[in-house]
Structure 1
Amino acid sequence: MKIATREIGKGYKPYIIAEMSGNHNGDINRAIELIKAAKEAGADAVKLQTYTADTITINHDSEEFMIRGGLWDGAKLYDLYEQAHTPWEWHKTLFDEAKKVGITIFSSPFDPTAVDFLEELGAPAYKIASFELIDLPLIRKVAATGKPIIMSTGNANLGEIEEAVAAAKAAGAEDIVLLHCTSGYPTPASQANISTIAVMREAFGVEVGLSDHTMDIGVSVAAVALGACVIEKHFTLARADGGVDSAFSLEKEELKALVTNCNMAFEAFGEPNFISTEAELQTKCHRRSLYVVKDIKQGEVFTSEHVRSIRPGNGILPKYLDFVLGSKATQDLKFGTPLKFSHFS
């Protein structure tokens, strides 16, 4: 599949999405700086979240609308989303800024009105957040645009993922990527379970990546080594500045390291191979081989005093040592001579 001009999938470098989320901290200038920082760090795309507090929840004070435990303990859902949302009136400016600096930008819509709004802006792709994976009408609305669709699977069981993929395909989606995700904020590396990536690819026949909420880059790099084609990671200008997601977000230099190391993991993956690579050919001559380590006269019998397995590798292979010992030298040989088959009979 392709987002904008970038090919995504097997054989292509991992597609790195820098998730802005609410790390703009309510300042459009900071949002613009985040876009620039993502470009400078080498990310392929910046992702927004398109909702308002009123499109994602309701302003209600009952206990079920409160968050208990974790990073946002004690917050009311409405208040958290009011603080974290990216104002819709910013979107065109941010899309224009991304175009100016040369980085792809798209978003996660959280209700049908957000899809319509993003279509007006020419969004090249859509992301379904983990908590919306069970909102099949929203998935069908997104799929009907014909744009590539990326869906996170945090908190979802196998059946729910199957329903989401089926809904997307039935509504016309042809380009689908699933992101394995653990919806913990932050997620301990021990709960990332990235071995799930291969299972998802086999089960659903689509490309699979990772939405990573761990505190570092190691899990993402390991996921690329397992074949993840997309990596999504939250990022911020500085964790010290605070913000709703800053605690588990990467700073610019860390995002740059993520891009570098994910690309390195991709390049290292390669294909199964037992033939010497170009790099190995330069060192193959330093393997062990049989050498004359004591002068020997023609007709004299080789003993362990005359021949040994040593480095470098210009003589015959050490596996022939038993054939050499007890045989006779066919010519005079000096100390340091690499042994050849013609030297013994």
Structure 2
Amino acid sequence: MSCYVIAEIGVNHAGSVELANVMIDAAKEAGADAVKFQTFTAEKLVSSSTPKVKYQESTTDKDESHYQMIKSLEFAYEDHIPVFEYCKKLKIDFISTPYDIESAKFLVSIGVKIFKTASADIVDLSLHDFIAQHAESAIVSTGMATLGEIEPVVEIYRKYNCKLTLLHCVSNYPCATESLNLNVMETLSRAFLCDVGYSDHAVGPIPAVASVALGATVVEKHFTLDKNMIGPDHKASSDPKEFAELVTAIRETETALGSAIKSVQVEEMQMRKVSRKSLFLAQSIKKGEAFTAEMLTLKRPGTGIYEAELSVILGALSTKDLSEGEMLKVGDYKFV
């Protein structure tokens, strides 16, 4: 099964339907399976006293409050509808992250089937309970969370038999390579017996590609048209060229991972025949004479008898005169 690659547009559309649609075009062209948005209202999400985190301070106006920043990034409910329809037209999945139950209800009302939850909302059990009841599948980010915090969320999705994927994530933009700990995906898989994936906030394509090799069924990466655009997430996002390169690398990795069955590949057959060794006569032997170890040696090509048969051949009698340098063949010996 191919890894499901999500272009996280998030709030990088700056509230513009036109820009959102251009980004959807670019994500589709880059090879994304889905685009993801965020659905919220600032009044329900942020109190007036909420501070900005460090990366937001460095990427937005220092005189703008956290609330003002979130307010400027709102995507009106009514603006979701043309974007949702545009995704259907382009045959790319529309996903959104609701930050409250009212937003989740709206997404259900327009026909959204796949929901993604933010790492910060691992503790919003009521939101998870609603999504688990109404979504066809849910993708849950686990940044900043302990296994003990993840467990009750998994139980909610199991209760309603909602398909669940847990995304390993480090909640910083960008995050340090030494903090990635991609092996946590195996921990999540073993602990909760569900699909796992990776929400990538790292610089460069290597961590996301490595996650696929480790079993990620979903990879999410922030997406922008231009890292220099105004907004908190653009600098830590991939532009269309970078995203396309990431998708290509993921698909090549999947091809390289291939099958777990150890078999001889078609392209190996000529090499197998030429470079393997067969039994050859190291000295001449007369008809009726018994084969000894000194009479035989190994040489290329490998189209004859392998050394594994040597113990059987030793002591057998030659059926004909054989000259030094000849390849030993079936029928050149008989058992006494």
Same fold (TM over 0.5): yes
Q: Aligned ranges for residues 290-301 of structure 1 at < 5 Å?
A: 290=278, 292=280, 296=284, 298=286
Match of 2:4 among 2, 15, 23: 15
TM-score (norm 2): 0.85
Show structure 2 runs of 5+ residues with no match: none
Partner of residue 4, structure 1: none
Q: In the alignment, residue 180 of structure 1 is paired with which amino acid?
A: H
Change (3 A) 1:267 1:242: same
1:266-289 CA-partner distances (Å, limit 9, x unpaired):
344345433323443453213321
Residue pair 2:283, 2:296 contacting (<8 A) in 1 also: no
- Asked if 2 retains the 8 angstrom alpha-carbon contact of 1:289 and 1:317, the reply is yes
> Kindly, what percent of the aligned residue pairs are identical?
35
Aligned to 1:207: 195
Q: Name the CA distance, whole Å, in 2 between partners of 1:77 and 1:149.
A: 28
Quote the residue 2:146 is aligned against.
Answer: 157
The corresponding residue for 1:254 is: 242
**What amino acid sits opposite 1:92 in the alignment?**
I
Structure 1: tracts of 5 or more residues without a match: 1-11
Q: Tell me what 1:69 maps to.
A: 54
What's the counterpart of residue 195 of structure 1? 183
Deviation at 1:180, TM superposition (A): 1.2
CA distance in 2, matches of 1:327, 1:17: 66
Deviation, 1:204, is 1.4
Q: Which residue of 1 aligns with 2:80?
A: 91
- Note if contact 2:226-2:239 (Cα within 8 Å) is conserved in structure 1: yes
Aligned-partner Cα distance in 2 for 1:72–1:302: 84
Supply the distance in 2 between the matched residues of 1:224 and 1:101 (Cα, whole angstroms): 26
For residues 99 and 307 of structure 2, the distance between their equivalents in structure 1, rounded to whole angstroms, comes to 67
Tell me the distance in 2 between the aligned counterparts of 1:112 and 1:225. 35
Q: What are the Cα deviations for residues 178-223 of structure 1, in whole angstroms up to 9, with x where unaligned?
A: 1111112112232211211122122112211111111122212221
Contact 1:292-1:333 at 8 Å conserved across structures: no
How many residue pairs end up in the alignment? Answer: 329
One-letter amino acid of the structure 2 residue matched with residue 37 of structure 1: A
Deviation at 1:130, TM superposition (A): 0.3
Give, in angstroms, the shift of residue 260 of structure 1. 2.7
Residues in 2 aligned to 1:324 and 1:169: alpha-carbon distance in whole angstroms: 63
Q: Deviations over 1:232-277 (max 9, x none)?
A: 1111122244532122212223222322332333344345433323
Would the aligned equivalents of 1:290 and 1:309 in 2 still touch at CA under 8 Å?
yes
Distance 2:135 2:90 in 1: 26
Please name the residue that 1:33 is paired with. 22
Q: Does 1:315 align with 2:300?
A: no
**CA distance in structure 2 between the aligned counterparts of 1:248 and 1:135, rounded to whole angstroms:** 26
> Alignment partner of 1:115: what SS?
helix
Residues 186 and 213 in structure 1, CA contact (< 8 A), matched pair in contact too: yes
Which of 42, 54, 60 pairs up with 2:43? 54
Q: Does 1:124 align with 2:98?
A: no
- For 1:68 and 1:250, the matched residues in 2 are separated by 21
Point out the more displaced range, 129-138 or 78-87.
78-87
Whether the 8 Å CA contact 2:14–2:74 is kept in 1: the answer is no
For the Cα contact (< 8 Å) 2:280–2:299, is it kept in 1? no
User: Residues 115 and 135 of structure 2 are in contact (CA less than 8 Å); yes or no, is this contact kept in structure 1?
Assistant: no
- Cα offsets for 1:106-141 (capped at 9, x unmatched): 200001221122122111111111001111111112
Letter in 2 for 1:184: N
Note the aligned Cα RMSD (angstroms): 2.9
Residues 155 and 325 (structure 1), Cα distance of their counterparts in 2 relative to 1, 3 Å cut: same
Measure the CA separation in 1 of the matches of 2:326 and 2:66.
Answer: 80
189-198 vs 295-304, which deviates more? 295-304
The one-letter amino acid paired with 1:70 is Y
Whether the 8 Å CA contact 2:117–2:140 is kept in 1: the answer is yes
Residues 297-318 of structure 1 deviation map (CA, whole Å, 9 limit, x = unaligned): 6369989998543332112224
CA distance in 2, matches of 1:71, 1:333: 83
Distance 2:47 2:102 in 1: 16
> Structure 2: how far apart are the matches of 1:114 and 1:149?
15
For residues 315 and 169 of structure 1, do their structure 2 counterparts lie closer, same or farther at Cα, with a shift above 3 Å needed?
closer
Structure 1 length-normalised TM: 0.83
- Amino acid of the structure 1 residue aligned with 2:186: A
2:84 equivalent to 1:80: no
1:133-184 deviations in whole A, cap 9, x for unaligned? 11111111222214311110000101110011223334x2421111111112
Aligned counterpart, 1:3: none
Partner of 1:6: none
Change (3 A) 1:336 1:114: farther
